[in-house]
Chain A
Amino acid sequence: MKRVFPILAVLTALLLAYGFYEAMWVAPTERTMGDVQRIFYYHVPSAWTGFCLFFTNLLASIVYLIWKNPKADALAVSSAEVGVVFCTIVLVTGPIWARPVWGIWWTWDVRLTSTLVLWLIYVSYLVLRRFSDSSQTPVLAAVLAIFGALDVPLVYFSIWFFRTQHPQPVIGGGGSLDPRMLRVFLLNLFTFSCFGAMLCWARYRLEWMQREVDEAEALESLLGTESVSLRDTQVKIAAGKNPRHP
């Protein structure tokens, strides 16, 4: 696993570079919007990846609530954090695209507002995780995550059910996309999905490592003067032994 991660990270970086090249120089220029339409190749894949990560957070939270699996809890916090990063990109690139096309940076229509609400929900989830010391925090956070995930379909379907300033989806929404644009879009969709998965994986490993170190330090402080190294403690925990009674 330790060797697979760097290889996949390099492959993802190469894919990102290729996706950037295709979006900037290979995809044809849109007739009415011009070059600014190329923001589409980053804006939509970022939204898609953010939604996938929030969905992962939902599944992991449900698994945690049912089985109290700490790995599911670690995955939940990791996916939420990386999802917030991608959602932030959506909220930043959207207004930058809107300004030259709509003439305004922001409007309080359903799609934009529900996306902002989604971002706020997951930021509050992360704040709860960061600053609450209660043993009930993972449970409370999992419940909040389930409520937060309810906003994801509202964001996605808002442009179908309400009149909004935001354009209809290009795929499955009656719109059409030049095949060359579609190819670049799908490439970037795949690339951003891989990048999101890699970031989530890295964050998950870090979260798990942090929990092991916290646990070892807590055990060491319980033992007081007796010196127990981190590695010894980890070995004892892995072997199912109680390090306090070796």
Chain B
Amino acid sequence: MNSSNYLYAAYAATWLIHGFYISVLIRRYFRLRGRISGQTKR
């Protein structure tokens, strides 16, 4: 395997992990927003 491929793999892994974590935070935020709007409707 070309050494550049390891470089691309490392950078891709870094951004995949960050992207996944940011998506988890966004999902949690919208779930909370849903709970808040459910509360205010009651």
The answer to whether A and B interact is yes
Number of A-B contacts (CB under 8 A): 79
Shortest B21–chain A CB gap in Å is 5
Contacts of B14 in A (CB 8 A): 42, 46, 89, 92-93
B residues in contact (CB < 8 Å) with A: 1, 3-4, 6-7, 9-11, 13-14, 17-18, 21-22, 25, 28-29, 32, 35-36, 39-40, 42
A residues in contact (CB < 8 Å) with B: 20, 24, 33-36, 38-39, 42-43, 46, 82, 85, 88-89, 92-93, 96-97, 99-100, 195, 199, 202-203, 206, 209-210, 213, 216-217, 220, 227, 229-231
Chain B residue nearest to A195 in the complex (CB): B18
Contacts of B13 in A (CB 8 A): 89, 92-93, 96
Decide: A96 near B9, CB < 8 A? Known: A85-B17, A206-B29.
Answer: yes
Shortest A117–chain B CB gap in Å is 20
Contacts of B17 in A (CB 8 A): 85, 88-89, 92
